Structure 1
Amino acid sequence: MTEPQNNSDAYDSPWKEVLEHAFPEFVAFYFPEAYAQIDWAQDHEFKNTELRQVVRDAELGKRFADVLVQVTLEGGEPRWIYIHIEVQGRRDSDFARRMFTYNYRLFDRYARPIASLAVLADADAGWRPDHYGFEVLGCRHTLEFPVVKLIDYADRIESLEASANPFALVTIAHLRTRQTKGNPQARYQAKLNLVRALYRQGWDRQHILDLFAVIDWMMRLPNALEQQLWQAIETVEGETEMRYVTSVERLAIQRGIQQGLQQGLEQGLEQGLEQGRLEGKIEGLERLLVKRFGPLDAATRKRLEIATLEQLDRWTDRILDASTVDAVFEEH
């Protein structure tokens, strides 16, 4: 999970998609005490539009995978839950303050109690920010919040493998990504094992696609091993008679194109339509290039940054059939 951060990805993590599709499982796995207090027979509702407004007003910058959810407690009382997934692989001295700031700004704007929960994916075992506050002239203002660190699960791999909760698999993927850093062959084998485990669970198609997206995003492989993996996945799908991932590879690329366009339109509301479309297309195309060919070098990223809308459209059209990065940019 840390490697995509080092590659400066500008798009939301697939963490966010799987979290939104399997929110009860997320809370049950990482925050069982909170899970026991929520009435899951009642619908929960994501409030990400409200969260984006608060983020803009707070001028705290883009957060990677935040969500705001309204749930109903067992006593029938509605509550909003703010969840932050910190994916950067190093300690951040401002993290606790940001949690504090989000919490009080959300409360101030919507006059609703806010529960703040955090998942940390860094490698520093000693860094566990779980509170922030201050005291002055007898006045005390403090926020304490539950924190989960993914590295704490490193000695529980066996129990994770036996779990039917999808976030057990996500956690294994994170741990295996760290363990195989600098060893592509070991990562290939670990990734294939996770894909096999994914299909053994018997989850529905959307669960499998969401979880595969997280695994694929975390455990990037060199292009040759990536192609080898797709062939292996075809075999797995043949054995399980579940044509989920390989049958939608091209559709996923097309979906990514549409996401890039949509992101451009959303940015256009804030930054000017033309500039927003340009930035959205750059981010969408960058995401597709990384998925097809692996991490991009500095020259390729620079080429994207200075491209025109016409060039981006032309390159996007080629990505479905291009065999290499250079083929995408080749001018005839």
Structure 2
Amino acid sequence: MIFPKAFSFWNQFIDWSMKLSKKLDAKIYEEMKTLEEATKMSYITTAERIGLKKGMEKGMEKGIEKGIEKGIEKSISAVHQAVATIIEIKFGKPGQRLSARAYKIGNLKILQKLTTKLKHAQSISEAELILSEMERGNGKPSH
């Protein structure tokens, strides 16, 4: 392999001594560029390696967190839709205000309990009671 200084010298010498067509000039330029890139090997220090590893780990953690957040958001959205559908089917237009209230609940487990309990509600007033319990956040009947 030609050392970098010698490589540079021969590259300049050939360029100076030979007049080539534009097509060949471009081809040689590409070949030289490829050869130059292949011989470049930058040294990575221990500190840089550690930094890269930590950066990769942090990036992975953040990516996983974001993915989980997005998944939870989609689940909450789906359960909100399920609640709205149950209310609409059971109580029609009068139930719309209940749907609006249910959309304010952001806890997935509470929303899931709400969905289950609303399926069994016999009247809009019973549904309102159930929703009030869920809005308090405990999902348990108050006495």
TM-score > 0.5, shorter chain as reference? no
Larger radius of gyration: 2
In the superposition, the TM-score normalised over structure 2's length comes to 0.38
Structure with the largest fraction of strand: 1
Structure with the largest fraction of helix: 2
| Larger RCO: 1 or 2 (CA < 8 Å, sep 6+) | 2
In the superposition, the TM-score normalised over structure 1's length comes to 0.17
